[in-house]
Amino acid sequence: MATEKQGSTAPSSSRRELLRGMGALGIGAPLGVAACSGTTSGVTAAPRAPQPAERVPSRPFGRTGAQVSSLALGGYFDALANQALLARALELGVTYWETTLRFGGKGYGEYFRQHPGARERVFLMAKTRSALTQLERSAALAQMEADLSVALTETGTDRIDFFLLGQLRETSLFNDDVRRWVERAKAAGKVRFFGFSSHANMQDCLLHASTLDWIDGAMVAYNYRLMQVPSMQQAVDACARRGIALTAVKSQGLDTNPEATIGEDTPAARKLLEKLLGGGQSEYQARLQAVWSNPAISSICSMMTTPEALLANASASWQTASWQTPSSSPLAAYQRPRGHRSSEGKYRTGCASVCEGSLAEAAPVADVMRQLMYARSYGDRARARAEFAALGPAALEALGRQDYSLAEQRCPQRLPIARWMADARRELG
């Protein structure tokens, strides 16, 4: 269940040269966003024993006493058709795996059946579906139970190591009924640790969670841009003091605006990027290392659908095992000069309450921004269109009749909200 502690030895000279060449060729870039290609189906051989230099280092999972790999395998891929990728993940020490309701856990379950003992090496995470807050309290509890049952059945296991409320945007589910449900699930051995994921209003969710003793972990967007936002860092620090384990997603800081990239805003940022690239470090690896530079982050959950992306991300972790302070990573020094708008202005920071609270009627602006990001930055148009359609006709019609001028005025990032909502209806509708 909790993964064994993994080695932190630096890669060998030959391995380092290989990875430097990979970086120069752009293999695995952007990391965690590679298209699914060269998939392998069928039964795979048991993974070979890895060399210590190839192991992703582990980190504490908050106050729980468990250790998890500092790189987690994102679950948005067909694991049933990519059994070889699961074997390679274990070889590299990527033993924290996400399962999702969209793709299910059947691929993981098949791998565990074919490889006895593999389940005990994996720290398995599963989430409920989103929009539970829209249900009556009793219905939300029933849906949590149903989603947990699906995850257990599909993965063929009797427990989920980390079970999350999916995509929280507010804190109404942090209530005594949910707490009692968690206590029962833990007592039955079905859930080891419990928490939530959030992509919008993250700061509010994290700060509220930090006041509770029954939230073990959270999965939130966190990257080299968001870590510069004072309110976000305050929320992260509050969770660290409580011992809540944080898993980062959206670690590349990819934008719904494809022109917004690191290094374009200030000469200092460009100089830093050139220094990293000059040493054989890819931009994408440096972005991961910026997140790992905060010891409050237990792991980065990354969508890695090819062996190349998996290896490149894993290699970025090898030199981070001894990092103890946020200043240890070169990219943690990414700061905007006083009075200068950084590239953060082109990136949503999870502050959905500001823009959505400025509209005359309810509309899922933050969700649509995330879907644009999947389509434009991740290249996953199928997922973006499916989630956009799932918003429903009423929500999509509401997007088209809004006046976004007040929301744009209040937006601290000065995002072109009206234009992006129009883009989404045209590109994803």
Q: What is the pLDDT of residues 252-291, one digit of tens each?
A: 776 543 332 222 333 444 444 455 555 566 778 878 888 8
What is the band of 316 on the pLDDT scale with cuts at 50, 70, 90?
confident
More confident site: 334 or 258: 334
| Whole-number pLDDT of residue 64 | 96
Is the model's pLDDT at 60 over the cut of 90? yes
Instruction: Indicate whether 180 belongs to any domain.
Output: yes
Region 14-26: mean pLDDT is 33
Residue type, 164: L
Q: Which 3 state secondary structure label does DSSP give 97?
A: strand
> Would you state the structure tokens that stand for residue 81, as one six-digit string?
């058709």
Region 397-411: mean pLDDT is 85
Instruction: Indicate whether 68 belongs to any domain.
Output: yes
Maximum C-alpha span of the chain: 60
Same domain? For 286 and 376 the reply is: no
Same domain? For 126 and 239 the reply is: yes
Instruction: Indicate whether 280 belongs to any domain.
Output: yes
Same domain? For 263 and 364 the reply is: no
| Whole-number pLDDT of residue 275 | 54
| Whole-number pLDDT of residue 177 | 95
Provide the percentage of residues in the chain whose pLDDT is more than 90: 35
Is the model's pLDDT at 70 over the cut of 90? yes
Same domain? For 359 and 236 the reply is: no
Is the model's pLDDT at 334 over the cut of 70? no
Domain limits at 369?
351-428
Poorest-pLDDT segment among 121-125, 148-152, 230-234: 230-234
| Whole-number pLDDT of residue 103 | 75
Same domain? For 288 and 208 the reply is: yes
How many structural domains does the chain have? 2
CATH number for the domain including 186?
Answer: 3.20.20.100
| Whole-number pLDDT of residue 97 | 97
List, for residues 71-124, the tens digit of each pLDDT value: 999 988 889 999 999 999 999 999 999 998 777 789 999 999 999 999 999 999
Helix, strand, coil percentages in the chain from 3-state DSSP, rounded to 5? 45, 10, 40
> CA 201 → CA 192, 205, 207, 353, 366, distances in Å?
26, 6, 10, 7, 9
Same domain? For 280 and 162 the reply is: yes
Contacts of 336 (CB under 8 A, 6+ apart): 228, 265, 266, 342, 344
Among 302, 333, 364, residue at a domain's last position: 333
Same domain? For 218 and 320 the reply is: yes
Mean of the per-residue pLDDT values of the chain: 76
Is the model's pLDDT at 68 over the cut of 70? yes
Same domain? For 321 and 375 the reply is: no
| Whole-number pLDDT of residue 14 | 32
